């Protein structure tokens, strides 16, 4: 099902938030609890998903400002649903789907709470994207730190290596030696 950003009454809601009409927030919360339910729309032009219709509940669409998180949820959900029955990886895939759904649900809850208190949707959308960029940079730094720690661990434990390190003016210089490891400062 394609990711649609328009509502059935798009003229009426033109000044309001735009929503993704594929799955509702209720379904996201149910998936976060570990239950996979039907989330598609039963009839063409329907304003409620199958889950909300069965629960006799109000349809609450997913806001567009969490588009990236929603795409990740759909991807992990498709991977989970694509696994054959009785696959050993099903439990891990379900846990991943739950985690992604939980992240999406919490993100929407926080933004909606801020939206109610501040009333500035554009600012919240921009801050959400900025937060995403910061999280990407933190993740990249964590990977870099792990890489550097691994290099240090290899350098410390590699006693039979034919390289040594010399420190010159605050820089570490690696010097190749003949089968002996010496360290000078």
**pLDDT tens-digit profile of 66-112?**
888 888 888 888 888 888 887 788 888 888 989 999 888 888 877 66
Residue 155 C-beta-side C-alpha neighbours within 13 Å: 16
Query: For 114-131, how does the pLDDT look when each residue is reduced to its tens digit (9 = 90+)?
Result: 666 666 667 777 788 888
Residue 168 reports pLDDT greater than 60: no
CA–CA dist 78, 136 (Å, integer): 24
Which of 37, 31, 41 lies closest to 76 in space, CA to CA?
Answer: 31
- Listed ranges 17-21, 150-154, 163-167; the one with the highest mean pLDDT: 150-154
Q: DSSP secondary structure string, 1-22?
A: -------TTTTTTTTS--EEEE
Q: 15 pLDDT band (50/70/90 cuts)?
A: very low
Q: Of all helices (H) and strands (E), which one includes residue 102?
A: helix 90-118
CA–CA dist 33, 99 (Å, integer): 9
Sign of the alpha-carbon torsion through 139, 141, 144, 150: negative
CA distances from 40 to 22, 61, 147, 158 (A): 6, 12, 43, 57
CA–CA dist 167, 170 (Å, integer): 6
């Amino acid at each position: 099902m394609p990711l649609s950003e328009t509502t059935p009454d798009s003229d009426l809601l033109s000044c309001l938030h735009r929503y993704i009409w594929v799955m509702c927030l209720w379904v996201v919360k149910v998936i976060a609890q570990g239950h996979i339910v039907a989330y598609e729309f039963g009839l063409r032009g329907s304003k409620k998903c199958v889950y909300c219709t069965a629960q006799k509940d109000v349809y609450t669409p997913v806001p567009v400002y969490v588009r990236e998180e929603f795409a990740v949820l759909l991807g992990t959900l498709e991977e989970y649903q694509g696994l054959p029955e009785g696959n050993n990886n099903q439990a891990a895939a379900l846990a991943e789907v739950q985690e992604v759904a939980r992240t999406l649900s919490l993100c929407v809850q926080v933004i909606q709470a801020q939206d109610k208190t501040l009333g500035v949707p554009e600012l919240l959308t921009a801050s959400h994207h900025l937060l995403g960029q910061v999280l990407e940079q933190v993740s990249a730094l964590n990977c870099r730190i792990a890489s550097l720690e691994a290099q240090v661990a290899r350098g410390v434990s590699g006693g039979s290596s034919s390289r040594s390190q010399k420190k010159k003016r605050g820089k570490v210089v690696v010097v190749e030696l003949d089968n002996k490891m010496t360290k000078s400062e």
